[in-house]
Structures are given as C-alpha cells and as structure tokens.
Structure 1
Amino acid sequence: MKSQTLSVAGVHGNTIVYDVHRPESGPVGVVVLAHGLGEHAARYLHLAARLTDVGYVVVAPDHAGHGRSSGKRLGVTDFDDFIADLHTVIGNIDRVDGPTFLLGHSMGGAIALKYALDHPEALDGLILSGPALMPGADLPPVLVKLAPILGKVAPWLPSAALPASGVSRDPKVVAAYEADPLVWHGKIPAGLGGTLIATMGTFPDRLPQLTMPVLAMHGGADTLANPDGTRMLGRRAGGDDVTVTIFDGLYHEIFNEPEQDEVITTVVDWLEKHRTAQS
C-alpha cells in the first residue's frame, strides 16, 4: 500500500493528523478507521494492509489529544468534538467511485456509532469492533449516573486506568502496547470518561434510527468494553441488515488476537458483500 500523512484543523484549534493508505490499483471504496481510547491509528497498519489489498482507500485519523494529533492528552470533555473532527476528516477525503464505510473500535466504536446516527448521509455502512456502547457490569449504577456530572465539575480528575492485560491474549501484543510511547498509559480523566458514559446513555433510544448496514463484532471475553452493548445494538438497531458476531474467548482487541486473520476476513467478506450490493 502507498501511505501519506495529512492533517486538518479540528475544533478548538487542534491539529488532527491522519494517514491515507491507498491500494496499488484503482480503489473500490473507502474505509475510515476510528481508533480506541488512549491509542492511535498506527496500531491498525496490519488491518489497513489487508483492506488496501482488496482495493480500499483507508483513512485513519488520530483523535484530538491522542497519538500525533494536538490537544491536551485525553482532554476532550465534549463527545461532539470527536464527531466534528471526524466529519472534517471525512469531508476532506478525495472523491472515490465507491461506497464509504466507517469502522470504529472501543471508544472509536462509540464515536463511529454516534457519527452514523448524526451523519447517515455520509456513510454506506458501519463496522464496530469491541464498541464501548454500554458501561461495564462492574460499574455501580450510582457511579454511572455521577460520572457525567463529575466530568463537568472536575474534568481533570483522574479516574480508572485501562489494564493492558485486557487488550489481548497475545503477550507480544500486550508488551508492544505497554512500550508504545504514543499510547496513553495513565488514568482516564473524568472529563473524557464522563462524556463517554453520557454518550452511551443516549444509544438505547437512538438505535432504532440506525438503518444502514451494520457489522458489529465483539470478543466474548472482553473485560474492557461490555459485550452486552453490542448485543443491545443487535436487538435495537432499526435496519434489517445488522450482523452481530461474538467471538468466544477473544479479548478486547479482536484485530490483535491470535485469531485476527479470522476476524479481518469477516470484515473483508462483509465489505465485499455490501460493496457489490451497492454497485
């Protein structure tokens, strides 16, 4: 694949850095990647390589306050900032004769779902990987209710950290994650955690509005994002083309598990089916 790094102006004066990976021959469509909380787009290069191999242009931004993009680290306190920045990136993509799909992982899954609900006209389909759509069962209900309020009152206050051990069953992946200087290894600020939980709370009522084709995947042993959120999407989405796949025993980053080839092939097959259906 041929890669290029570009940037656009995001909200609050942030610079949003993104990569464009192009196939060697003429493109058949576009896949936009929205990464998860605390990480960055370059962790998906192996996925981008597979997608460009089958003809897709892959556009992969680093969210504000993440990776190479500017902004206070994990300093976003309004989830709509992520949506606005992503809309700017998508609007800056060169015209491609083919469909546009959005793929989001973890918090990026919540961003992708909200973007699809806010801007359905911009997409032809949605793919979710371990999306953060529902608080974990281990969070007390009172904390779930208070988190958005605390995020506004004391957005800088550190809350929980994401344990690297929950990322993958592959120790090499965990070691690389822990050694990556572009990955945030500290606690999640209350501002970001609060706006994420508040956004999760809007999904049950909004999901009936989701009518585009959807592929939602989750590791059955994911302890970082609740698989029940993906199951909820399957029940409540308004479209008749919704595929929910739970990979038994897999951890949070299903694209970085030992079974990653099976997972990526699931995505490629779904893309091919839906690309040809629209041609």
Structure 2
Amino acid sequence: MPASTPYTEAWLTGPQNTRFYTRTYKADTPTAVLVFLHGAAEHAGRYTDMHTSLASQGISVFMFDQRGFGKTALDKEHRSKDSAYGKTDAQCQLDDMEWAIEHVQLEFGGLPIFVMGASMGGGLVLGLMCDEKRASHKAVAAIRGVITGSPCLTLTKAAPRLVLWIVKFMAFFKPYMLYPIRNKPEDLSRDPVTNAQYLADPLIKTPGSLRSILDMLGLGAHILSTSYINWPKDTPVLFLHGTADPVTSCESTKALFEKLQAEDKTMITYPGAYHELHNEPDDVREKCLADVVAFIQLHCR
C-alpha cells in the first residue's frame, strides 16, 4: 500500500464468522470516532475523500463493506466461503453494525463514538436506535450521536404494487436472487465525474437481492410508522437530505424528524441536491461535511 494512503485496510471476522473488508482513517489527534455505513450497491471506496477530510479535522472513521456488498462479498481471495453479492438481510446488518461499534470501542477506547449511514446505511442506523430489543445492548448504549444522510425510509417514487407483489413472490422461492436493474447514476448526483466512476466500478452491481431490498424498504416503513417511538430521547440525531433527491424521499425524512421524540434533533436540507450529498456540486459536499463535523464536535463536549 502506498505510504500516502490515508487509511489502513484489514479483514476482520464478525458475526456468523463472516470476514469483512474494513478501512480505518485515524486522525492524528482524534476527538471522536465515527462508524460509517454505506448504501446499497456501494462499498468503502466511494467515501475516501469524505473520510480523509473527517480524519484531517480530528474525527477518526471506521468503515466496512457491508455483508453482501463490496469486497466483503466479491473478493475471491479473502471473502468468507458463504459470502455472495446481495446475500444479506436487515437483522444481520444490524448485528454487523453492533459488532463494528464494539470493535471501535476496543480500538479507540475512551473516544466518543458516533454512527452515520447513507441511504440504506442511513435507514440502518435509525433502525438500530429504534429497535426496542437492542436498546440495552452495550453497543447501542455507547453511541454519543447519530447522523443519517438521505435515509431510505421510503422511495421518492414508490414501486408499482404489481412490481412489489412480483418481487415478494419471487423472494419467497429465491430470496437471494439479485434484483435485475441497476441504479441510474444520474439519479445519484449531479456530478458527471462521480457518476461515470459509479458505472465503471467493478464492485458495484445491482442494489442487492430481492430479500435485502424488501428488508431495506420494510425496515424504513416500520421505523416511520411504528418503531420511531423507541428512539432513546437523550441520543442526539442529525438528519441530512437533498430536497431534489430522486431516490429516497426527503418528505419521509421530514415526517420522521417531526415524529421523533428526541430531545436534541436537527434536520438540514440542501435545496436542489440529489441523493449522494458527499458527491454533490455547488458547494453541497463541502457544506454537508462541515455540518457533520459541527454536529460531532458539538456533542463531544
């Protein structure tokens, strides 16, 4: 690995003896550590610039390619025997997230721990905090604050009922069949460079399997309709969303923000911005990064 690489890589064994590809960005003088969850079809490599910037401002970052995605699913040399693209479900993902937080507790003992997720990952960090059964878990209790970017609560354009019925029917027989349509990069951001990189990325395929997609949508709907009542009131939360997001609904994020009974909650919207805030032009990516840093610094005190 070149000396200039801003992160260290490791393969770590997590729940169900699954081997995870991980990256750690260590700040020289850290004031906090952030556990980050990427979105569907993504991997750690799509956040290098953002996480390097966070580390330069005193926030160390731990990230892993989620179960069923990235190198965790596709690296033939290091992946687990049973790992495959799209082979995941919401409960396993929540277990994996707790494992990552526990790892950070050991690796960065004493530092305030924050969690952040984007898109699917944004829904998962909310799902973890709204899971009544996990509220007493060591990992959940350790979280100082939560940041959710463009969370997948509902899609901006709901899938037709017939399509959803077909997906559910097929998932009953072949849960890990891959959804056959890839995300459109032009829906992700207004940056043609990162969109072209998305198309050319060998680690990016479809958004996942039939089961993983249904779980993602089901978790979001459950949070929005029911489990939001379980949010720990003393855990601060920051919502981030672009108002023109073609993928996940900004209106649903606003609705959850209004419902959530958190004592310290903030929602920031970015006018005209699309789904991937860390890739958006017109100073959105810089503003988003500054908002994340400000939230973490405020709640480190």
Normalising by structure 2, report the TM-score.
Answer: 0.84
- SS in structure 1 opposite 2:300? helix
Q: Does 1:74 align with 2:86?
A: yes
Structure 1 residue 85: deviation in Å?
Answer: 1.4
Take 1:270 and 1:137, find their aligned partners in 2: how far apart are those partners? 30
What is the aligned partner in structure 2 of residue 95 from structure 1? 108
What is the aligned partner in structure 2 of residue 55 from structure 1? 58
Spell out, residue by residue over 1:218-242, the C-alpha distance to the aligned partner (whole angstroms, 9 max, x if none).
1111111111221122111111211
Take 1:181 and 1:238, find their aligned partners in 2: how far apart are those partners? 42
Structure 1 residue 152: deviation in Å?
Answer: 3.3
Cα RMSD, aligned residues only: 2.0
Range that drifts further, 225-234 or 60-69: 225-234
Range that drifts further, 110-119 or 240-249: 110-119
Take 1:67 and 1:266, find their aligned partners in 2: how far apart are those partners? 27
Range that drifts further, 142-151 or 193-202: 142-151
Q: Does 1:24 align with 2:28?
A: yes
Structure 2 residue runs of 5 or longer lacking an equivalent are 74-82
Q: Does 1:208 align with 2:229?
A: yes
What is the aligned partner in structure 1 of residue 13 from structure 2? 9
Q: 2:275 aligns with which of 248, 252, 274?
A: 252
Take 1:138 and 1:64, find their aligned partners in 2: how far apart are those partners? 26
What is the aligned partner in structure 1 of residue 290 from structure 2? 265
Which aligned pairs between 1:59-208 and structure 2 lie closer than 5 A? Answer: 59-70=62-73, 71-76=83-88, 78-93=89-104, 94-117=107-130, 118-119=134-135, 120-141=140-161, 147-148=167-168, 150-155=170-175, 156=177, 158-184=179-205, 186=206, 188-204=208-224, 205-208=226-229
Cα distance change on mapping 1:152 and 1:228 into 2, 3 Å: farther
CA contact (8 A) 2:155 2:247 kept: no
- SS in structure 1 opposite 2:114? strand
CA contact (8 A) 1:102 1:126 kept: yes
Take 1:252 and 1:98, find their aligned partners in 2: how far apart are those partners? 30
CA contact (8 A) 1:130 1:252 kept: yes
Cα distance change on mapping 1:152 and 1:112 into 2, 3 Å: farther
CA contact (8 A) 1:100 1:125 kept: yes
Take 2:27 and 2:279, find their aligned partners in 1: how far apart are those partners? 22
For 1:263, give the aligned amino acid: C
CA contact (8 A) 2:277 2:288 kept: yes
Take 1:58 and 1:126, find their aligned partners in 2: how far apart are those partners? 14
Range that drifts further, 232-241 or 27-36: 232-241
Spell out, residue by residue over 1:83-129, the C-alpha distance to the aligned partner (whole angstroms, 9 max, x if none).
11121122112133331110100001111111223353131110011
Take 1:148 and 1:11, find their aligned partners in 2: how far apart are those partners? 27
Structure 1 residue 21: deviation in Å?
Answer: 0.8
Structure 1 residue runs of 5 or longer lacking an equivalent are none
For 1:81, give the aligned amino acid: C
What is the aligned partner in structure 2 of residue 274 from structure 1? 299
Going by fraction, where is strand more abundant, 1 or 2? 1
**Matched pairs, number:** 273
